[in-house]
Structure 1
Amino acid sequence: MNQFLNKPVNLQKEISALHYISQGENAKVHLENIERVLQAGGNWIQLRLKETSAKEVLETAISAREICSAYQAKLIINDHVEIAKTCNADGVHLGQEDTNVLEARQILGEEKIIGGTANTLRHCLDHLQNGVDYIGLGPLRFTSTKKKLSPILGFSGYQELIEKYSQQKNTVPIIAIGGITLNDIEELREIGLSGVAVSGLLTHSEHPEKEIQQILDKRK
């Protein structure tokens, strides 16, 4: 069981407490950063290539699949459902403007992981109804990694939303996203978040193993 997540999980679809969203000026650098994070102890990768041809995304996804398999890590493809299926990724992450969750489930089947982005309680409840396996909720604060940034939630926004969300009979893990730093981890955990998704925090770290250990092992 994740030490960040204090409730039982489906081991077949266990959601990591730390999601690394790939970053880089080109596909080659994305792959280099992915392997660097895996070498440092990461176990969950989301390949996020924007403004890139489907052909290049597929080629990069196939390479990322090989790298993640070598480290026994999960590979999630951002947006591209058919590519996730073709490269046999572990699943897909869908934004608000991406493929519909129900359509993605029909394409990928029940065994694959589907995550969805949310900014409001309504988004979260819709995701629950549509059968996602986890929700990426945010942003916590401003982040330059997204061009179309949803309204910032802040800690108070997370607190209010999680309190209402937890009243649902069935819930799935919620991962915090958007401009997260190490100093935020403990407060997010206390609010009730199941983990965090980060990009620049690990991409630009000189010693990513330290950040990864702190998040996954709940140590400072």
Structure 2
Amino acid sequence: MPLQRKQSAYSPAFVLITDRKQSRLPLINAVKLALKGGVNTIQLREKDLPTKDIYSLACELRTITHGLNASLIINDRVDIVLAANADGVHLGWQSMPVSRVRNLIGFERIIGISAHNMQEALQARDSGADYITYGPIFKTPSKEGVVEPTGTESLRKLKEKIRIPVIALGGITVDNAESVMESGANGIAVVSSILKSDNPENTALRLYSIIQHHSKMSG
């Protein structure tokens, strides 16, 4: 049976991007709590792990997400997407072209692309991406000195030009998530807000309520 696209990978999306080094809890425990709190997409991004370990982790996450009707997206590794039967792949600008990836994974799976400015976002749209992640919206340690924050006004201008879902990321917390959603984001992606939390489930619940509130207001 062909893999079916999951609505959770689109709007409104609530994505947890993994980083086991930032997680206060064992990563799998944190993921389970985040999903319980409302996260509906897990993006596996552990760039320093050997292929065998990434595959093993992907399979474990596939079992967890499948049981909770959540999506699993793998960063860059098309081979892992296929081997673990994940829902899609997330690409950067050093990845294979979208057209080649599409030929490999088919049209039932999802392709996302990272964008850090308007030009990259428009290129991603034109290349055939199903969605983009856009940011960093706010200052974040992982991008400090590498990419300047875009701010929410840039997000608002982008949403005037692009129809595919835009998932905002970068420094998003319970305190600023409302402003991000008000600027037109179709969802948010977070790392440290949840993984560094003393209570990942509660933090996820609070963020989820903001996303859902805005979704109902705008819908």
Alignment TM-score, normalising by the size of structure 1: 0.83
Q: What is the CA–CA distance in structure 2 between the aligned matches of 1:159 and 1:41, rounded to whole Å?
A: 25
Corresponding residue to 2:21 among 6, 25, 46: 25
| Cα shift readout 1:141-188 (whole Å, capped 9, x = no counterpart) | 22224588423211232233333x24xxxx201111111112222222
Q: Which residue of 1 aligns with 2:85?
A: 88
Q: Which residue of 1 aligns with 2:98?
A: 101
Q: Which residue of 1 aligns with 2:117?
A: 120
Count of aligned positions:
205
Q: Would the alpha carbon gap of residues 29 and 146 (structure 1) be closer, same or farther in structure 2, given more than 3 Å must change?
A: farther
Corresponding residue to 2:164 among 138, 147, 172: 172
| Cα shift readout 1:34-73 (whole Å, capped 9, x = no counterpart) | 1121122321111111211111111110111011111111
Cα deviation, residue 123, structure 1:
1.2
Q: Which residue of 2 aligns with 1:195?
A: 187
Matched to 1:200, the amino acid is S
Matched to 1:156, the amino acid is E
Alignment TM-score, normalising by the size of structure 2: 0.83
Q: How does 1:129-208 map to 2 (within 5 A)?
A: 129-146=126-143, 149-163=146-160, 165-166=161-162, 171-205=163-197, 206=199, 207-208=202-203
Q: Which residue of 2 aligns with 1:213?
A: 208
Matched to 1:128, the amino acid is R
Kept in 1: contact 2:112–2:131 (CA 8 A)? yes
Q: What is the CA–CA distance in structure 2 between the aligned matches of 1:186 and 1:26, rounded to whole Å?
A: 24
Kept in 1: contact 2:132–2:166 (CA 8 A)? yes
Q: What is the CA–CA distance in structure 2 between the aligned matches of 1:44 and 1:60, rounded to whole Å?
A: 15
Q: Which residue of 1 aligns with 2:3?
A: none
Matched to 1:23, the amino acid is D
Kept in 1: contact 2:91–2:114 (CA 8 A)? yes
- SS of match in other structure, 1:35: helix
Cα deviation, residue 111, structure 1:
0.5
| Cα shift readout 1:109-142 (whole Å, capped 9, x = no counterpart) | 0000111000122212211222111110111122
Kept in 1: contact 2:38–2:205 (CA 8 A)? no
Q: How does 1:29-44 map to 2 (within 5 A)?
A: 29-44=26-41
